[in-house]
Amino acid sequence: MSSQKFFDRLKVQLLFSGPTLFAFFTVVILPFLYGIYLTFTNWDGVSTSHSFVGMKNYLAVLDDAAFWTSLYKTMKYVLLTVILINVVGFFLAYMLTTEIRAKNLFRAGFFTPNLIGGIILGFLWQFIFSNVLVYIGEHFKIGIFSSSWLADPDKAFWTLVIVTTWQYSGYMMVIYIAGLMNIPKELLEAASIDGANAFVRLRKIILPLMVPSFIVCVFLSLQRGFMVYDLNIALTNGGPYKSTQLVSMYVYQKAFLSQKYGAGQAEAFVLFLIVAIVTLIQVYVSKKREVEA
Amino acid sequence: MRKLKMMSAAVLSLSLLLSGCGNSTKEGQSSDGKKTASSEVKITLLNSKGEIQAQLEEAAKEFSKENPGTTLEVIPAAAGQSPFEKVSSMYAAGNAPTISMVDPGDVKKFADKALDLSNEKWVKDAIDGSLDDAKTEDGKILAFPFAVEGYGLIYNKAVLDKAVGGNFDPASIKTRKDLAELIKKIQKTGVASNLQSPMDWSLGAHYLTIGYSVQSNKFEEVEAFLTNLKEGKEDLTKNEKLNGLLDTFDLLKENNVNKKDPMSGTYEQGPELLGKGKVGLWFMGNWAWPQIKGFDTTNGNYGFLPVPISDNPDDYGNSQISVGVTKRLIIDKEQNSPEQQTAAKKFLEWLVYNEKGQDFLVNKANIIPAFKNITLEPQDPLAKSIKAYMNNNKTLRSMVTLPPDHWSQVGAFMQQYLDNKIDRKQLLKQIEGYWKSQQ
């Protein structure tokens, strides 16, 4: 009897979750497992045969200095963009929840960059950095703009950071606005009556209550930072001379340009582990700081 | 009742899903063409030369018109996407194009999927050496030579005429010293002498590889040189020819119109500066003609100069320019039906022997064909200049079958050298390191 009941329940469950499970299994789980399998082979991406090479690809990852350099650059990029995106995003949200005019217009305006795809955005800013700013720099004799930022390794790195911040801070702003609006007014009012000034209110009430929003935003910007590819390829294309090649692009080129699919896949897997660990730590650590109002 | 309805709907949608998948895997092998082959054959051509997409579509229409029952569809590869990437993804999707236009180095990667073309009529009319890198070890020919391209220093004759005070003769530049004098003469007329563009493909795949080609006029020896490089047995710092080529690079770098900020240049800058006569020389290939034409101020008076590697006029490479087959067509035998394969062969023949096919290649697409029987003269000055070098046997064999990431990696080293971030010794050490990692 109980087995009859079990099958009944299973049927209903399958009815609802079956199609999704099936889709999830075929498009996420299977490719993922197959991808891991490929890291143990020497496949070049097209040939019909490949042979098993054991841990060779993973040893090659350890040896591949260029991979670790690009990973280091990515870390630097992630660190800078996470800080800048969230600081700018929070600042915008804070300003746009105070009493200023044309709030909605500003909100829409700051959010717009997020609606443009990374590739187009990259080309837009490429034009700005290598043509518009250079023209302005030469015209008004501003030294820092007189030559293209994209031609200099350090400045090209900063262009990536600047454009990413510009792209995502509007998005994070929306999340922060939602968080700010949820803070109970009476708490802030009570604090003001007790004599807390704006800064104290921000530090003692708003920030602690905003932790859930921070978790989401930092998580989103972390993950996007690690995975960035479209902007990288459209804005700097890794140049000048591969100095701004971030890790996703490096892995992609390893697999498809150098036609070392197994090795590229192994690097992608290492990257996956690193990103998973970093984001899990982030979520775990920040969850602890959540407070109830 | 209602429950039953829901159940059946769910089962139906599930089975649809399943059958959808089943179909694509089963029929990936035999595409639609097989079923309808008797009446209509549809073949596809993957085009990786974006600049001739429109012309190729025209030619496909012509071909379909002359061969009723056969339609040819041209699929473009996205700009910046390597043909290998596109073709391999189409194979993975079970939807391989009948004809794929690939880079010469890719041909062997598709060896088990490409149709053997050894018995085709055009094989005997192909120019010498144009099939060498399309052959398997047992002598099978797997690919059709689609386009011959060449590169060197493109000159604007109007600028050079003014500089030398008379009619400029390209044969007068035989050594680095000649080139240096020419550069000085151009600069005296108040025009910048040359432009060195910083694209990695131009520096890595074209400029530096001249240094490999000139190692010997026998190709086996060049190949042996590359094998030695891989095994780490070659000391490039002592290689006279490669160093000679880089000495010339220093000369070009020193007089580069972008010298102040060498990495800021773009490809688009080249045609404009050269076409408008603002520089006299630009290192590039004949594919740049359509763009140069847009800015042309000299009635199409352009040509190629070799890149000299020494001060001895007799050295191999000082009077030759680099020429090679840069695009090849392969026919798929795995996912296309025999009828489709036959139709594809017919198209290749049409290109070589049909008047309209030849007209498309030479006049419409500005391609230098690799076939002796095509006597049409190229229209554009750069192709004419290359043809002249070919007719006089003054060509270096382009290095078109290097490892697939050579242009990108070595291109990046050359960019660093161009930007004075590394010196000659570091450059050569990095190149050696790249080759050693290729084992």
For A131, which residue in chain B has the nearest alpha carbon?
B264
- Chain B 236-295, CB below 8 Å of chain A: which residues? 260-264, 266
Report the Cα A254 to chain-centroid distance in Å: 21
Q: Are residues B144 and B62 in the same domain?
A: yes
* Chain B hits for A130, Cβ within 8 Å: 264, 266
Is A131 within the bounds of a domain?
yes
3-state secondary structure of B281: strand
Is A106 within the bounds of a domain?
yes
DSSP B53-120: HHHHHHHHHHHHHHSTTEEEEEEEPPTT--HHHHHHHHHHTT---SEEEE-GGGGGGGTTTBPP-TT-
In this model, does residue B190 exceed pLDDT 70? yes
Report the Cα B157 to chain-centroid distance in Å: 25
Band of pLDDT at residue B19, cut at 50, 70 and 90: very low
Report the Cα B402 to chain-centroid distance in Å: 12
Is A79 within the bounds of a domain?
yes
Provide CB contacts within 8 A for A272, sequence distance 6+.
Answer: none
Q: Are residues B342 and B408 in the same domain?
A: no
DSSP B283-350: EEEGGGHHHHHHH--SSS-EEEE----SS-TTSTTSS-EEEEEEEEEEEBSSSS-HHHHHHHHHHHHH
What was the pLDDT predicted at A82? 92
Query: Using one digit for the tens of pLDDT, what is the confidence trace for B20-78?
Result: 444 433 333 444 444 444 568 889 999 988 878 888 898 899 888 888 888 889 988 87
What was the pLDDT predicted at A5? 86
Q: How far apart are CA B413 and CA B428, in angstroms?
A: 9
Q: Are residues B56 and B142 in the same domain?
A: yes
Q: Are residues B379 and B420 in the same domain?
A: no
Q: Which of B84, B264, B416 is nearest residue A241 as measured by Cβ atoms?
A: B416
* Chain B hits for A15, Cβ within 8 Å: 6-7, 10
3-state secondary structure of B135: strand
Q: What angle do CA B375, B381, B385 make, to 5 degrees?
A: 70
Is A292 within the bounds of a domain?
no
Nearest to B48 by CA among B268, B328, B271, B324: B328
Q: What's the Cα-to-Cα distance from B14 to each of B7, B27, B28, rounded to whole Å? A: 10, 20, 21
For the ranges A152-161, B17-26, B126-135, B333-342, the lowest mean pLDDT is seen at B17-26
Q: Which of A46, A47, A151 is nearest residue B261 as measured by Cβ atoms?
A: A151
In this model, does residue B308 exceed pLDDT 70? yes
B178 to chain A, closest Cα gap in Å: 32
CATH number for the domain spanning B338: value is 3.40.190.10
Is A4 within the bounds of a domain?
no
B419 interface with A at CB cutoff 8 Å: yes
Strand segments, DSSP code E, in A102-256 are none
Nearest to B222 by CA among B107, B319, B109, B316: B316
Specify the pairing of strand B279-285 against strand B192-195. Answer: parallel
A114 to chain B, closest Cα gap in Å: 25
What was the pLDDT predicted at B22? 40
Is B437 within the bounds of a domain?
yes
**What distance separates the 2 farthest-apart alpha carbons in chain A?**
87
* Chain B hits for A8, Cβ within 8 Å: none
Q: How far apart are CA A270 and CA A68, in angstroms?
A: 11
Question: What residues are paired with B150 via a beta bridge?
Answer: B323
Provide CB contacts within 8 A for A164, sequence distance 6+.
Answer: A77, A81, A85, A225, A228, A231
Across the interface, do A46 and B87 touch by the CB < 8 Å criterion? yes
3-state secondary structure of A176: helix
Residue appearing with tokens 């890291």: A39
What was the pLDDT predicted at B26? 36
Mean pLDDT of chain B: 83
Is B74 within the bounds of a domain?
yes
- Determine whether A30 is exposed, middle or buried from the number of CB atoms within 10 Å of its CB (0-12, 13-18, 19+): exposed
* Chain A hits for B21, Cβ within 8 Å: 26
**A–B CB contacts, 8 A cutoff, strictly below:** 75
**What distance separates the 2 farthest-apart alpha carbons in chain B?**
98
Token pair listed for A71 = 């990973």
Q: Are residues B48 and B134 in the same domain?
A: yes
Q: Which of B109, B112, B405 is nearest residue A258 as measured by Cβ atoms?
A: B405
- Chain A 12-51, CB below 8 Å of chain B: which residues? 15, 18-19, 22-23, 26, 44-48
Count of positions (residues) in chain B:
439
Q: Which domain holds residue A202?
A: 56-287
Per-residue pLDDT of chain A (293 residues; tens, 9 = 90+): 577 888 888 888 888 898 999 999 999 999 889 888 888 888 877 676 778 887 888 888 888 888 888 899 999 999 999 999 999 999 999 888 887 888 888 888 888 888 887 788 888 888 888 888 888 887 887 777 777 788 888 888 999 899 999 989 889 999 999 998 888 888 888 888 888 888 888 888 888 888 888 888 988 898 888 888 888 888 888 878 888 888 888 988 888 777 788 888 889 888 889 888 988 888 888 878 776 65
Q: How far apart are CA B145 and CA A10, in angstroms?
A: 61
Q: Is the dihedral of CA B366, B386, B81, B219 positive or negative?
A: positive
In this model, does residue B1 exceed pLDDT 70? no
Number of domains chain A contains: 1
Is B269 within the bounds of a domain?
no
Q: Which of A18, A23, A46 is nearest residue B88 as measured by Cβ atoms?
A: A46
Q: How far apart are CA B153 and CA B155, in angstroms?
A: 6
Nearest to B138 by CA among B109, B108, B98: B108
Q: Is the dihedral of CA A140, A144, A145, A151 positive or negative?
A: positive
Nearest to B59 by CA among B262, B263, B351: B351
Q: How far apart are CA B336 and CA B339, in angstroms?
A: 8
- Chain A 114-143, CB below 8 Å of chain B: which residues? 130, 134
Q: What's the Cα-to-Cα distance from B156 to each of A76, B125, B203, B286, B314, rounded to whole Å? A: 46, 34, 21, 13, 25
What was the pLDDT predicted at B7? 52
Specify the pairing of strand B321-331 against strand B395-397. Answer: parallel
- Chain A 248-287, CB below 8 Å of chain B: which residues? 253, 256-259
Is B286 within the bounds of a domain?
no
3-state secondary structure of B203: helix
CATH number for the domain spanning A101: value is 1.10.3720.10
Nearest to A90 by CA among A263, A183, A206, A248: A206
Token pair listed for B144 = 């059709």
For A257, which residue in chain B has the nearest alpha carbon?
B405
Q: How far apart are CA A160 and CA A122, in angstroms?
A: 9
Is A32 within the bounds of a domain?
no
Is B120 within the bounds of a domain?
yes
Q: What's the Cα-to-Cα distance from B336 to each of B21, B94, B343, rounded to whole Å? A: 20, 10, 11
Q: Which of A22, A26, A147 is nearest residue B261 as measured by Cβ atoms?
A: A147
Across the interface, do A15 and B10 touch by the CB < 8 Å criterion? yes
Kind and range of the H or E run holding B31: none
Q: Which of B14, B266, B408 is nearest residue A19 as measured by Cβ atoms?
A: B14
8-state DSSP, B372: T
Nearest to B239 by CA among B260, B210, B264, B205: B210
CA dihedral A182, A184, A188, A190 (to 10 degrees): 180
Across the interface, do A44 and B6 touch by the CB < 8 Å criterion? no
Token pair listed for B22 = 């089943």
Q: Are residues B103 and B207 in the same domain?
A: no
Is A20 within the bounds of a domain?
no
Q: How many CA atoms lie within 13 A of B353 on its CB side?
A: 12
Q: Are residues B204 and B115 in the same domain?
A: no
Q: How far apart are CA A191 and CA A197, in angstroms?
A: 8
Across the interface, do B408 and A253 touch by the CB < 8 Å criterion? yes
Contact (Cβ atoms closer than 8 angstroms) between residue A41 and residue A53? yes
A212 interface with B at CB cutoff 8 Å: no
Residue appearing with tokens 């290359």: B386
A248 to chain B, closest Cα gap in Å: 16
Q: Which domain holds residue B39?
A: 35-149+324-383
Q: Are residues B418 and B358 in the same domain?
A: no
Is B263 within the bounds of a domain?
no
Q: Which of A22, A23, A257 is nearest residue B404 as measured by Cβ atoms?
A: A257
For A11, which residue in chain B has the nearest alpha carbon?
B7
Q: Are residues B87 and B130 in the same domain?
A: yes
Across the interface, do A253 and B109 touch by the CB < 8 Å criterion? no
A86 to chain B, closest Cα gap in Å: 32
Number of domains chain B contains: 2
Is A14 within the bounds of a domain?
no
What was the pLDDT predicted at B17? 46
Q: Which of B82, B263, B408 is nearest residue A240 as measured by Cβ atoms?
A: B263
Is B164 within the bounds of a domain?
no
What was the pLDDT predicted at B37? 43
Band of pLDDT at residue B3, cut at 50, 70 and 90: low
Band of pLDDT at residue B154, cut at 50, 70 and 90: very high
B329 to chain A, closest Cα gap in Å: 17
CA dihedral B123, B128, B129, B134 (to 10 degrees): -10
